[in-house]
Amino acid sequence: MMYLANSLANKWAQIKPPALAIGLLILAIGLLIAGWGALVSPAAAQSLDTLSQSAQAATSDGAASQTRINALDEETDQITRDYRAAVKQLTALREYNAQLDKLIVAQKAEMISVRQQIEDVTNVDRTIVPLMFRMIDALDQFVELDVPFLIDERRARVQALRALMDRSDANPAEKYRKILEAYEIENEYGRTLEAYEGEMDIKGEARTVAFLRVGRVALIYQTLDAQESGAWSQSAKNFVDLEGDFDTQLRAALRIAKQQAAPDLLVIPVTLGAPTSGK
C-alpha cells in the first residue's frame, strides 16, 4: 500500500497539468484512508470511537470548567473592587471619627466654660438687680425734682421700668438695657429744643397752651391766642407770668422749635425766682 502511494506521488510529480495533478493527489489520499481502514480491526475501531467520545466529553468538560473559571475570575474581581472600596470608606470613617473626637473634646471644654459663665452671671445678677432698683429710684427722684416738661410721659416711663423689674419673662440684660435707654432719653432732653401742646391750669381755668422747652434751661408756655405767657421758676416750683413782655420772641421761638422757621438767635426769659430775661 505504501509502495502504491509512493508510485502515485511520483507519477503526480511527473504530470505537469495542474488539474490532473490535483485529481491524482485526492485519489492517493483516498486510497491511504481506505487502506488504513482495512488494516484496522473492528475492536481497534471501537476503541478509537470510545477514545473519540472521551476526547469530546473531556473537551465539553473543559469548556464548562473554563466557563466556571471565567465566572469565578469575574466574581473575584468584583470582590476585590468591593474590598478596595470598603477599605477606602473605612479610612474615611476613621478620619471622620478622629475629627469628631476633636469636636467632642472642644465641646466638653465649651460646656465647662458655659457652666462657669452661668455661675458668674448668677453672681452678677445678685449684685446688679439691687443696682437697677437704685437706678430707677434715682431716675424717679430726678424727674420729680426736674423742670416739669412732659411730666406725665416721664413718670409713665419710670413706672414702666418698675413694672419691668417684676416681670419673670424679662432677663436682667433686657431690664438693664431699658433703664439705660431711659437715662439716655433724659440726657437728650438737656440738648434739644422742643415745642408741644398740653393742658394747664391758668387762674383756675384749664386751658390748652403751647409749651417751649429749651433744654433744661427754660420751660415757657403761651396760650394759643398768644395773649398770656409764663416761664417756669425752678426756685418757686411754679410758672411766673411774663406779662406779655416776650410774646413776639416766644412766637418766633415756637416756630423755630416746630421747624416752621430757620434756626436763629433766640431771646427768651430764664426765671429763677422772678421774671428776668436772658439769651
Indicate the average pLDDT of the chain.
80
Shortest CA distance to 232 belongs to which of 147, 114, 138, 115? 147
Cα(133)–Cα(139) distance, rounded to whole angstroms?
10
Query: 3-state DSSP call for residue 199?
Result: strand
Amino acid letter at 112?
Answer: I
Could you tell me how far CA 238 lies from the centroid of its own chain? 59
Mean pLDDT of 202-215: 88
pLDDT the model gives residue 181:
96
When mean pLDDT is compared across 151-165, 174-188, 251-265, the lowest value belongs to: 251-265
Cα(81)–Cα(233) distance, rounded to whole angstroms?
98
Per-residue pLDDT at 15 exceeds 70: no
Mean pLDDT of 169-194: 92
Q: Judge whether 229 and 219 are in contact, CB under 8 Å.
A: no
Question: pTM for the full model?
Answer: 0.54
pLDDT the model gives residue 14:
52
Q: Judge whether 167 and 127 are in contact, CB under 8 Å.
A: no
Q: Judge whether 270 and 231 are in contact, CB under 8 Å.
A: yes
Could you tell me how far CA 50 lies from the centroid of its own chain? 84
Cα(46)–Cα(77) distance, rounded to whole angstroms?
46
Q: Judge whether 164 and 175 are in contact, CB under 8 Å.
A: yes
And the C-alpha cell for 160?
414702666
Phi, psi of 258 (to 5 degrees): -85, 5
Query: Residue 245: enclosing H or E segment and its boundaries?
Result: none
More confident residue, 10 or 86: 86
pLDDT the model gives residue 43:
66
pLDDT the model gives residue 177:
94
